[in-house]
Structure 1
Amino acid sequence: MDAAGQLGKNLLSSHPVLATGALEEARNAVTEVYLPHELINVEGRDEVAMVLNAVKDRNFTLGYLTYGSSARLTMPATEDTYHVNLTIAGSTFADRQDGERATTRSRLSGVVLLPDQLNRVQWTPDAEQLILKIPRRSLEGHLADLLGKPVRSVVHFDFQVDLTTARGQALLSAVEFLTAEMERPGGIADNPLARDQLEAYVMSQLLTAVPNPYTEELSAPAEPVQDGRLKPVVEYMESNADLALSPTELAKVGCMSVRSLHASFQKTFGESPMAYLRRIRLDHVRTELLNSREPDLQITDVAMRWGFFHLSRFAQQYRERYGELPSETIRRG
């Protein structure tokens, strides 16, 4: 396989890191993006056909990796990051320090590499993976927000990720959707707020799809808070609707967990907090369109000022709420 020739065919190809046949170059690139490790070709050749594409953001790193050879990696404990390896082609064979073993197969399974374990993974030549590198502060902070209490130790996920369950399929779908959006011009890559929310969704899917000590607590229905406790959250939304608000921030305003925030909004308003916020923002857009006296007013500028960056979706949501397109509102204004 010609690694350089394959680059344009692979996922995240607009975020290339390296395509190389040299084993040492491959090791250095994966070390730089993911973690220090030893790398050998088990067939005894000092070569691979590696392609690595990756993009890093505030919450985690997302990458596509293939070695195009029988590569074996030995990875010491990182202490500060989780790695989620979702196999989308071929197979890998993994084991870790505590004796656990796992086999991953295309779109059926993956593994979670814990920060406090040495891990070894052998790739078949046709193996390809989507790999998340998630700092402990991101994942454990997100879990703490969901639970409404501190998380101060490593989340000990099961080694193997079952992608055949409904939740496993949801995790794979979320990661693949994020991957596609990072490639799409005008997609989430250009919208930091939406990107943060999707990355948070991916972490939530991981926490519910892969068994861990918090699985039962996360699966239990969240208790809604008393209606009065939503008042400061709604007031904060209305006063800051032009800012990049997130469920995590809103939950902190209301002194509750993210799960309780969602349960409370569903009980009181029949919709999620972000859907409620969208209605507030749509109302602001409509008010501007109706009251503006600017002859050259641009709908795009108004929409983006209120957090609507996907304009076709904005127009659809506006029409669903008001029964007319934004352009029709301007003509009536």
Structure 2
Amino acid sequence: MTNSFELTNTDEISELLKAFYGSMQLTPSGRQDRLHLRQDTLGPVELHRSAFTMHVRLDVDPMTALPFGTVVNGTAAIRGRRYETQFLAGDSVLATLPEPYTAVIDDVDIDLVLIPVGLFALEVDLAPNRRATPIHFTSNTPPTQQAADNWRAAFRYVRASVVGTPAAEEPLVAGAAARLLVATSLASFPNNALRDPTPENRRDAHPGSLQRAVSFIDDNAHRDISASEIAAASYVNIRALQVAFRRHLDTTPMAYLRQVRLEYAHRELIDADPDVTSVARIAARWGFANHSRFTASYRAAFGIRPSYTLRERKSSTNRWM
């Protein structure tokens, strides 16, 4: 779903910003202010393209959704109790840490992804009966240029290949795109959640855990399942799950899930009527938003194009008529 807003009244701008970003106090500069904001909803996350034609100060309380983004044009500065950061065009940014802060923006055009704080636990939560550690981001900027580039690449992919397409209405596509943004944010911005596998993780990564995970994936591939759900069904944590898949199958849990969904898409194409459905529709139903990538993966797995599989069903039917 997409919404667009074009506002020039300071009070209306203030109310819209509060609606999206929570409690804040806006102090305009006295110029003619303008805000253009495009909101795209993708499952539990929102993508915003915000263009502020104004110089303004925002005093913001802690947010329930963390805004990760890239400055397209203009400048912005954010200041909390323990930090102050200046952002220029091209910089990747976590626009707040979990404390009150002040933002000063000057004719800023910025891409943002708003991620509810609770979603990060779905990527790193612990196995049953283990106490979860609250996730905290410790810096507003990626530690390396490569980390910043990775975040921007993930955002560009989601924006170009998923947002605004018919496939975005499919739960598996929207869920996978949202998790990509969550996982890339965790990997790109410093936080206390990412850890190397421990000896306990390696001990738990035995064939029994793997078999439970494989069975759960096979039975639930039609659902929008996360790595944490797979780990919980296997009675291990996510790190141990990843070690098990790498050790025994030389892959990752989510890559295995994509392969299972590819097999289900193949079966559906064999049985489908090309007069009623299409390759794109079936691919999206199984979580594949990008048609060319789906075609390449399908051909690598089955040796033919998916369109041929769909047409062949009709040809076989006609031969028997």
TM-score normalised according to structure 1 size: 0.78
Q: Pick from 72, 75, 99: which aligns with 2:60?
A: 75
- Alignment correspondent of 1:87: 71
- Alignment correspondent of 1:119: 101
Summarize the alignment of residues 237-252 of structure 1 with structure 2, pairs less than 5 Å apart: 237-252=217-232
Deviations 1:139-179, CA, capped at 9 Å, x for gaps: 24433259995445461422x31475211221122123223
Could you tell me how far 1:254 is from its partner in structure 2?
Answer: 0.9
Could you tell me how far 1:267 is from its partner in structure 2?
Answer: 1.7
Q: Pick from 24, 35, 52: which aligns with 2:37?
A: 52
Hey, what's the Cα distance between the residues in 2 that align with 1:207 and 1:53?
25
Question: Which amino acid is the alignment partner of residue 200 of structure 1?
Answer: R
Summarize the alignment of residues 160-309 of structure 1 with structure 2, pairs less than 5 Å apart: 160-162=140-142, 165-187=145-167, 189-215=168-194, 217=195, 223=202, 225-286=205-266, 300=279
Deviations 1:179-201, CA, capped at 9 Å, x for gaps: 333544234x2232122222222
Secondary structure of the residue aligned to 1:67 is strand
Structure 1 residues 302 and 166, CA gap change in structure 2 (3 angstroms)? closer
- Alignment correspondent of 2:49: 64
Hey, what's the Cα distance between the residues in 1 that align with 2:299 and 2:172?
23
Question: Which amino acid is the alignment partner of residue 47 of structure 2?
Answer: L
- Runs of 4+ residues over 6 Å off in structure 1: 219-222, 293-297
- Alignment correspondent of 1:135: 116
Structure 2: runs of 5+ lacking an equivalent: none
Hey, what's the Cα distance between the residues in 1 that align with 2:235 and 2:157?
32
Deviations 1:5-56, CA, capped at 9 Å, x for gaps: xxxxxxxxx83331111111111111111212111223x33x3121111133
Structure 1 residues 20 and 236, CA gap change in structure 2 (3 angstroms)? same
Question: Which amino acid is the alignment partner of residue 129 of structure 1?
Answer: I
Deviations 1:108-155, CA, capped at 9 Å, x for gaps: 24244123x111111112x21122333222224433259995445461
Could you tell me how far 1:73 is from its partner in structure 2?
Answer: 0.9
Secondary structure of the residue aligned to 2:8 is strand
Question: Which amino acid is the alignment partner of residue 95 of structure 1?
Answer: R
Question: Which amino acid is the alignment partner of residue 50 of structure 1?
Answer: L
Secondary structure of the residue aligned to 1:238 is helix
- Alignment correspondent of 2:25: 38
Structure 1 residues 305 and 170, CA gap change in structure 2 (3 angstroms)? closer
Where relative contact order (Cα < 8 A, 6+ residues apart) is larger, the structure is 2
Aligned length: 310
- Alignment correspondent of 1:319: 299
Hey, what's the Cα distance between the residues in 1 that align with 2:238 and 2:105?
38
- Alignment correspondent of 2:125: 144
Hey, what's the Cα distance between the residues in 1 that align with 2:274 and 2:152?
48
Q: What percent identity do the matched residue pairs reach?
A: 19
Could you tell me how far 1:220 is from its partner in structure 2?
Answer: 7.8
Deviations 1:246-279, CA, capped at 9 Å, x for gaps: 3332222112223332332122112222333344
Hey, what's the Cα distance between the residues in 1 that align with 2:152 and 2:198?
23
Hey, what's the Cα distance between the residues in 2 that align with 1:297 and 1:53?
34
Secondary structure of the residue aligned to 2:53 is coil
TM-score normalised according to structure 2 size: 0.81
Structure 1: runs of 5+ lacking an equivalent: 1-13
Q: CA RMSD in A?
A: 3.4
